[in-house]
Amino acid sequence: MARYGMALDYKNCINCKACEVACKEENGVLLGADKHRIWVGSNNPEGVWPNLDIASASFLPSQCQHCEQAPCEEVCPTHATYYDENGVVRVDSDKCILCSYCMNACPYDARYVDDRTVTVDKCTFCSDTRLARGETTTACQNTCPTKVRTFGDLDDPESEISILLKTRDHFSLKAHLGTKPKLFYLT
Amino acid sequence: MEVEVSRRKFLQGTVAMTVVGGVAGTGLLSAGHGEGEAPGSPRLPKSVTTKTGTGKAEEIPFLCGMCVNKCAGFARVEDGIITKLNPNPYFPKSRNMLCPRGNAGIQTTYDPDRLKYPMIRIGKRGEGKFKRVSWEEAYDAILNGTDKFKGLAQILDEEKDNRSTIAYCNGEGLSKEGFEDLVGKKLGSPNYVDEVSICLETAGGGFFATLGVYPEIDFEHADYMIILGANRAEAIITPDTMDMFKQTKGRGLKMVCIDPRFTNTAAKADKWLPVNPGTDLAYVLAMTWVVFNENLQNEAYMKKHGVGYEEYKQHILSHKYTPEWAEPICGIKAKDIYEMAREFMNAEHPIIYPGRRSIFSPNDYQLRRAMAIFQALSGNLDQKGGYIYGNPIMLPPEYVNAPIYDQAKPRFDTEGIAFPTLKSGSWIVFRNMVLEGKNPYPVRVMFMRKHNPMMSVPNTAKTRQFLEKMDLNVMIDILPSDTAMYADVILPEASYLERTSPVKAYGFLEPAIVQRKAAIEPLYETKVPEQIYKELAEKLAKPLFEISKKYDKDLQEQIKLRGEEKVFKEDGYDLADAWEMPVHEKNREIVEKVYGKKAWEILDERGVYYPHMEEYHKQLDPNDYQYYPKSKRFYSTQGDKLRVICKYDNLAKRGIDAMPTWHDEWKFSVPEGKFRLITGRHAQYTQSGTTNNAMLRDLIPTNYLWINQRVADKMGIAFGDMVEVKSEVGTVRLKAYPTEKIAPNQTFMLHGFGSESKGLELAYGNGANDAVIIKDDIEPVFGAAVMHSTNVEIRRV
C-alpha cells in the first residue's frame, strides 16, 4: 500500500523524448505517434526572427496525472477504470467496452486506444512491469538524461518525492478543476 | 484481437533489394518474424515492442552503439530476446541514463532490414542485385573475384604488390581499431579515410595545439557559459548534456547560446544570439579585444602559462578587432559583445564551450584556437568549474606484428592541405584526387566498414563516381546502406548488442574502464567483427604472401636468409595472428594484467571498473550517484606544465596564421534569392545509421527544410509543401517547415535522411540527403570538410 506520485523538475527537460521511447519499450506500447502513454509538450518561441521570446519556448513532459478525484474513473460505466491499492489509476482491459467516456472526460488527454486489445490504455507508473519486479523507479524516470522525474510514495515522509515537495515550490496542471493530480511540477 | 499491422508484414509488398538464390523464402528482407520460422532460426521478438515480464531475466552490461558516446547500459534478456535496455548506474561518463536512441537500440538489432548473410554482387554497381553466399564463398570472392569483378589477388598482382592500391574507410566504433589493424597494418594500405575529416578534426586539432587538450567541462561548478554553434540539447554528448541542463534557467549556470538557428539548446539558454554562419571567429576576436582593451584578463596567469602572449595581445589590439568592427560581420550587436566579454571575465568559473560539432567554416581551426585562448584569459583551466584535463586511465597498447611491404607507396592526399594527417587523411581530398586522376598510382580497392560516405561525405555524386571507379568494393556493416549498394562483397556484422567489444578506457575527471558484452548471440548468419577480420586474414594470408614473394625484393632476400616459414610467421605475414584470442578472453587478459582479478570480475559483471569503485560508488538519491567523491576527482592535474600557445610559429611555416586572424574572404554573404544551407543533428537521430530505426521514426517521421516563415509566405510555401533545393553540386526534394527559428537568408535540414537504398524499408526515399547538395569545400589546415559554405535555391514543386 502506497500513494504513488511523481515530481517533475520540468526545467531540466530538453525534449529529447528518451522517456517516451523507454516507456514504449518497457511496456510494449504500440508504435505510432498517436499511441503513447507519456509525451513531451513543446511550444515554438513567439516572436519574429531574430527577436524570439525564449521563455515562450517551453518543454513540458506529461502523462496521466493519476488524479485522486479522477474524472475518467467517475464516468466509466463498467468500472474498467479503477484506483489500484497504490492509488494508481488503472484500466482493466477485460471490462473496457471502448465507450471512450474516459477519454473525453480526462482533462489531460492522457488516454488512447490500444489497437491490439481495442481498449483504452494509459500510463500505469510501470505497475505491471517494473514495480511488479520490485523496481523503485519508472522507465521514464530511470532513463531520463537530465533526471526530470522523481517517482515515489507520497505517504512516506522520508521518500525523495515527499522531501522534494516539502522543500520546493510546485504546481499541478489544471489545478482549478479539482482533480487532485499526483503529478507535481517543481518550479 | 491482433490488429497491429507490423511493418514487417508490409515488407512483402514493397520494392526491395533483390536477392537471388539462397534458401527459398528467406530474401534479404524476409518478413520473417514470429511466423513460420524454421527450427533453429534466430530468436526474434513477436512484435516491434515487447512488454517486459516479471519472470526470469538476464541483465547483460553493454555499451551503446547508437552514436559515439558509448553510454553504458544493461540489456534485459528474457527467453533469449532483448526486451529492454536500461541505463547502467556505474559509468561516470553516462550518468545512469540512456537517450531516445539508446532506448531504441533494440530496433536496430531486430531491424528486419538487417544484412543477414554474406552476399556478392550479380547486377550493376548500385543496382542492388546480390546473391546470397556462404562466408567461405564471400571470402573467396574477395580474394579471387567473380565474373563481375576482379579479386584482390589479381589486382595486387597487376599492381606488383603495391599495397597502397587498397584504400579503406571505417566510421567511429569500438571495433574500428581492429579493422585498421587488418587493412592498414596487416594488408599494408596507408590510404585510410574515416569520420574525423568530416567531423570535428579542427576542433580537436585547434584545442590540442593551443591547450594540449580537448577538454571535459566541470559543469557542476561552472557559473557562466557561452555555447557557440554546439547544440547540446539535440546533439547529445555525455556527460555534458546531462550536467549542463540541470543548472540552466536561473539555477546557477547562466548560458548564452550563439547559433544561427533557434535550437532546443537556445530554448534552454538565458540569451540566444543568432550569428551569421561561419563568422563566429570575428565574434570571439571582438570579445578578446574587449578583454584586452579593458584589461579584464588574468594577467598573472597568462604571463605564467602563455606562449607568445604579449604578441597575441598586441595582435588583437593593433588589428582593432572591436565589437563595432565585428557587428556587421557576425550579426551580433556590439553592445552584446561588450556585455558578454565583461560578464565572462567577471564570472567565477566561466566556460566558452569547446565543442563538439562538425566543421562549419574554413576558419574553424582558428576559431577553436581563439576560443581556447579566450578561455585561458580567464585563468579557468585545470580547476573546479573549468576546462578539465583530468587523468587518463591507461590500458596497455596493442601490438600488431605488421609486415613491411617494400612495394607499397606512401599516401598522396595532401593537395591544398597545410598539415596532412598521416593516419586518416582527408576524405574529400583523397576522393577528389582519385577522381581527377591526381593519384600517383592506381587506387583500385575499397575496404569499407560501418561507414556510409554516400551520405556523410559532401557531394554524393563524386562519392558515387569514386566507388564506381574501384575494381573491388568490400563492405562490412549491419544494414544495407546507400554505400553498401556499391559493394561487390557484403559481409554482415553482428550489431552492438550481439557482440563483446574490446575493452575501452575513458579518462578526465572521473576515469573508468568499460566493456560491452554480447547480450545475445549474433542473429542470422552475422558474425562479430573480430571474427570476420580473423577469417578474412586467414583466407588472404598465404595467397597474398605469394604475390609479395614475386615482387618484394626485401622479402625475397629475407626468405633466402631465414627461410620462408620463419619469415611468414615472424614478420607478420601470417595475417590472422592479430586475432588469436577471442575478444572477451583478451579483455580479461588485459584487465587482469593491469588491475588484477577482482577488477576483471567487477568489470565483467557491471560493465564498468575503476580503482576504488566499491568504496567510491554510491547512490545519493533515486536519480543521482556518486562515482568519485569530490576529493578524489581529477580537477587539477597539470600544475606548472600547462601551456597556452597563443602564437604558434609552426603554423606560419605552412602558410597558416600563427595567431587567429580574421580575413574578409570569410565574410558571410548570400546572393539575392538564395539561401545559405546549414545542417545539423537531432536528439532522435544520430546520422544515416539510425534513420531506418522504427522507434525513432515514430518520433521524427522525416527531415524537413526549415525556411523563414515570412520568406515562405512570400514564396507561397506552406508547411508540408514539397520543395526542391538546388546547389551547384546537386538537387534534392523534401517537405518545407516554415518557421521564425531561422534567418530569412538561411535554410536548414537535418542530416542523415534521404536514403537511396531500397534495402532500407523506412529510410528509402524518406526526406533529403544533405550530402547530395553540400559542396565539397575543405578547410586549409587538415583538408577537413566544411559543411556550411553552400548556397542553395529553393522552389516549390
Domain positions in chain A are 4-186
pLDDT digits (tens, 9 = 90+) for B333-382: 999 999 999 999 999 999 999 978 899 999 999 999 999 999 999 999 99
For B369-392, write each residue's pLDDT tens digit.
Answer: 999 999 999 999 999 999 999 998
Interface pTM, i.e. ipTM: 0.97
Which of B53, B100, B740 has the CB atom closest to A47's CB atom? B740
Q: Which residues in chain A touch residue B48, judged by CB atoms under 8 angstroms apart? A: 30-31
Taking an 8 Å cut-off on Cβ atoms, the answer to whether B87 and A143 are in contact is yes
**Half-sphere exposure of residue B221: CA atoms within 13 angstroms, side-chain side:** 18
Question: CATH number of the domain at A4-186, please?
Answer: 3.30.70.20
> Among residues B786, B548, B750, B554, which one has the least CA distance to residue B666?
B786
CB contact under 8 A, A52 and B740: yes
- Residue A4: which of A89, A122, A121, A62 has the closest Cα? A89
Q: How far is A70 from chain B (nearest CA, A)?
A: 26
Between CA B323 and CA B330 the distance in angstroms is 10
The domain limits of chain B are 7-109, 119-198+420-495+523-579, 214-388, 664-796
What's the gap in Å between the CA of B110 and the closest CA on chain A? Answer: 13
Separation between Cα atoms, residue B730 and residue B726, nearest integer Å: 6
pLDDT at position B17: 58
Identify the residue among A17, A35, A140, A165 best suited for mutation to test binding to B, counting B beta carbons within 10 A and taking the highest: A17
Query: What residues in A contact B234, CB-CB < 8 Å?
Result: 14, 16
First-residue to last-residue Cα distance in chain A: 29
Mean model confidence pLDDT for chain B? 94
Q: How confident is the model at residue B11 (pLDDT cuts 50, 70, 90)?
A: very low
Question: Residue B14 pLDDT > 50, yes or no?
Answer: no
Q: Over 60: is that where the pLDDT of B10 sits?
A: no
Q: What CATH number labels B664-796?
A: 2.40.40.20
Give A97's contacts in chain B (Cβ within 8 Å): none
Q: Which of A30, A54, A141 sits opposite B267 (nearest CB)?
A: A54
Q: What is the pLDDT of residues A126-146, one digit of tens each?
A: 999 999 999 999 999 999 999
Rounded mean pLDDT, B301-328: 98
Fold of B214-388: Dimethylsulfoxide Reductase; domain 2 (3.40.228)
Provide the pLDDT for residue B398: 84
Cα distances (Å, whole numbers) of residue B48 to B4, B5, B693, B694? 10, 10, 11, 8
Tell me which DSSP letter residue B38 carries: P
* Best CA proximity match to B280, nearest among B342, B226, B200: B226
User: Which segment of B37-46, B215-224, B777-786 scores lowest on mean pLDDT?
Assistant: B37-46
**Interval B574-614: pLDDT, tens:** 999 999 999 999 999 999 999 999 999 999 999 999 999 99
Q: Which residues of chain A lie closer than 8 angstroms to B246, CB-CB?
A: 9, 12, 146-147
pTM for the whole thing? Answer: 0.95
Contacts of B2 in chain A (CB under 8 A): 116
The average pLDDT across B722-736 equals 98
Note whether B97 contacts A18, CB cutoff 8 Å. Answer: yes
pLDDT of res. B356 = 80
Closest C-alpha to B266, from A110, A23, A59: A59
Neighbours of B308 (CB within 10 A): 17
Pairing assessment for the beta strands B445-449 and B472-477 based on DSSP bridges: parallel
pLDDT score at B31: 36
pLDDT digits (tens, 9 = 90+) for B704-713: 999 999 999 9
Task: Identify the pLDDT of residue B40.
Answer: 59
Give B249-264 pLDDT, tens digit per residue: 999 999 999 999 999 9
Q: What pLDDT is recorded for position B20?
A: 60
Topology given in CATH for the domain delimited by B119-198+420-495+523-579: Rossmann fold (3.40.50)
CB B29 within 8 A of CB B113: yes
Per-residue pLDDT at B512 exceeds 90? yes
Residue A19 DSSP symbol: H
Rounded-to-integer distance, Cα B472 and Cα B144, Å: 11
Query: Cβ contact (<8 Å) for A136 and B622?
Result: yes
Is B371 near chain A, with CB under 8 Å? no
Residues B92, B627 contacting (CB under 8 angstroms): yes
> How many beta carbons lie within 10 A of that of residue A44, not counting itself?
13
Distances in Å between the Cα of B69 and the Cα atoms of B63, B173, B769 are 9, 10, 24
Element (H, E) at B512: strand B512-514
DSSP-assigned letters across all residues of B76-117:
EEETTEEEEEEE-TT-TTTTT---HHHHTHHHHHT-TTS--S
B506 shares contact with chain A (CB less than 8 Å) = no
Residue B436 in this model has a pLDDT that exceeds 80: yes
For the stretch A70-89, pLDDT in tens is 999 999 999 999 999 999 99
The closest of B330, B373, B351, B369 to B202, measured between CA atoms, is B369
On whether any CB of chain A is under 8 Å from the CB of B55, the answer is no
CA distance, residue A57 to nearest chain B CA (Å): 6
Question: DSSP string covering A70-136, please?
Answer: -HHHHH-TTS-EEE-TTS-EEE-TTT-----HHHHH-TT---EEETTTTEEE---TTTTTTGGGT-S
Q: How far is B305 from chain A (nearest CA, A)?
A: 36
Q: Which CATH class is domain B7-109?
A: mainly beta
A27-59 pLDDT per residue, tens: 999 999 889 999 999 999 999 999 999 999 999
Distance CA B166, CA B235 (A): 34
Condensed to tens digits (0 to 9), the pLDDT of residues B452-502 reads 999 999 999 999 999 999 999 999 999 999 999 999 999 999 999 999 999
